[in-house]
Amino acid sequence: MERTIIKTEHLERVYATGAVKTYALKDISIEIEEGEFVAIMGKSGSGKSTLLHQLGLLDKPTKGNIIIDGNDVINISEKERTRFRLHELGYVFQSYNLIPELTAIENVYVTPMARNLKKEEYEKMAEEVLTAVGLKDRMYHYPSELSGGQQQRVSIARALVNKPKILFADEPTANLDSASSEDVINLFRKFNKEIGQTIVMVTHEKDEGEKADRIIWVKDGLLDTDK
Ligand SMILES: Nc1ncnc2c1ncn2[C@@H]1O[C@H](COP(=O)(O)OP(=O)(O)O)[C@@H](O)[C@H]1O
Ligand SMILES: [Mg+2]
């Protein structure tokens, strides 16, 4: 049975910069099923990142509602939202945001470590997920000793180590060459197929969007139903 994991109702996000108001999202109602790999596509400035930030609880809409896994995530406390972000959601961005002073495995286990797990436990979790992204032989390397594609794979491992309900990615291949980009998308596809990972990915690459189960097209802060 398909189960809705994300539902938005009439999302609006207005940015007010001085006297200027930008309606980044005007009225977005979508549903995403558990286990779906969804791409969000549209022109630059269409509202893709803003939409992803609302779904990922990195920002709050000015109007509308968001239900994640049955929880009204707009009207819960900041503390609950933080718990949700830490335990239920994972993020991959265009920049890898790795800590340069930490090895790959240390970068990956920072979050499980913060959950008061035993060292053997969080080390094992990090090792497993780094193996799954193909970096078993690079675990003790520092970010500066890794290629861009490898660094992005570390950041994917870090996003997945806590087994989040949803993985969010905003243009994860924007800084990568075409071969590394393909690796990243294939990894997403693999985690989606093998462990049923729900993935919501913003991309502007048509061929990447086509590897997802479904594309949500956005135009001027609205769903683009002409696509
Ligand atoms: N923090 C912000 N303050 C003001 N305007 C913003 C902010 N972030 C985005 N915008 C504006 O909102 C619109 C949508 O931006 P964004 O969601 O980043 O688009 P995309 O990711 O599709 O390129 C754009 O017009 C952008 O300039
Ligand atoms: Mg963007």
What's the DSSP call for residue 186? H
- Supply the residue whose CA is at minimum distance from atom 1 of ligand 1: 15
pLDDT at 189 over 90: yes
Q: Which residues surround ligand 2, an ion (CB under 5 A)?
A: 48-49
Domains defined along the chain, listed by start: 36-59+76-223 (3.40.50.300)
Instruction: Give the tens place of pLDDT for each residue, 153-163.
Output: 999 999 999 99
- Non-local CB neighbours of 62 within 8 Å, separated by 6+ positions: 12, 13, 14
pLDDT at 142 over 90: yes
42 CA: nearest ligand 1 atom: 22
Q: What letters, b where the CB count within 10 A reaches 16 and e where it falls short, cover 169-179?
A: bbbbbebbeee
Q: Residue 138, SS3?
A: helix
CB 139 within 8 A of CB 109: no
pLDDT at 28 over 80: yes
Angstrom distances, CA of residue 214 to CA of 49, 122, 202: 17, 34, 12
> Which one has a higher pLDDT value, 2 or 24?
24
Query: CB under 6 Å to ligand 1: residues?
Result: 15, 17, 22, 24, 42, 44-50
The pLDDT value given to residue 111: 86
pLDDT at 227 over 80: no
* Cα of 49 from ligand 1 centre, angstroms: 7
Closest CA relative to residue 12, chosen from 57, 69, 50, 58: 50
Angstrom distances, CA of residue 44 to CA of 16, 49, 204, 215: 19, 10, 8, 16
Region 186-196: mean pLDDT is 97
pLDDT at 1 over 70: no
